[in-house]
Amino acid sequence: MQTVIKTEGLSKTYTNTAVPVHALRDVNLEFKQGEFTAIVGPSGSGKTTFLNVIGGLDKPTEGKVVIDDIDIATMKESKLFDFRMRHIGFVFQAYNLIPVLTAVENVSFIMLLQKRPKKEMEQRAKEMLEQVGLSDKLNTRPAQLSGGQQQRVAVARALASRPDFVLADEPTANLDTESAFNLLDIMARLNKEENITLIFSTHDQRVIDRAKRVITLVDGAVDKDEHFDRN
């Protein structure tokens, strides 16, 4: 399988605190196309920092993040914005939907920035909302959707532009059990059918039980890297 992300000697230290915080320490990992990985560990272990750094939302103090043979850690912000838009899908714990846009407009938003043809954009957005079970909510704004429905719109948005991989930070944290299982069913199906690479940070055992790979971070370093044969 093709490697979609590789980190080399990845470290991140925050110095704007009374005592320097070593959030990541010499992390060396490779992620293959189509993997479904859960990043786990106690609070403060570096999970969110790791996602932010490999997603280009934060710069490492040391080391490389290689995606498509490019070290994104050295890219200028203007080029990095365009790179993220074309290669990376994000699912945030807080959903981050645009309140004034409908579900189909939210899902179309990244493709609009990519200047995709209008017909292609609308068709793909509707297709993704159907995939996540929201074909009857195309013209509904976020305020009229439940938390689980908003998270499904966020998933559809992340996947609509066919990114190389999707990063999800605690995507089930605000969901009830039924909504969480529905979301995981959708993500697992899309992982299998579209060979989408998924990397989740999570405390949720429901997510961990679905992941094919579980990486445990402790104090910013890789403690375990386990692979599982799951159907």
Q: Residue 134 is which amino acid?
A: L
105: buried, middle or exposed (CB in 10 Å: 19+, 13-18, 0-12)? Answer: middle
pTM: 0.90
Q: How many angstroms separate the CA atoms of 65 and 71, rounded?
A: 5
Q: How many angstroms separate the CA atoms of 141 and 103, rounded?
A: 6
Q: What pLDDT, on a 0 to 100 scale, did the predictor assign at position 231?
A: 67
Strand pairing class (70-71; 62-67):
antiparallel
Quote the number of domains for the chain: 1
> Domain range holding 211?
3-227
Give the residue among 85, 82, 47 at the shortest CA–CA distance from 199: 47
Mean pLDDT per 10-residue section of the chain, whose length is 231 residues: 92 89 95 95 93 94 93 91 89 88 94 91 92 92 92 90 89 83 84 88 91 96 93 67
Q: What pLDDT, on a 0 to 100 scale, did the predictor assign at position 220?
A: 95
Q: What pLDDT, on a 0 to 100 scale, did the predictor assign at position 68?
A: 83
Instruction: Give the CATH number of the domain where residue 212 resides.
Output: 3.40.50.300
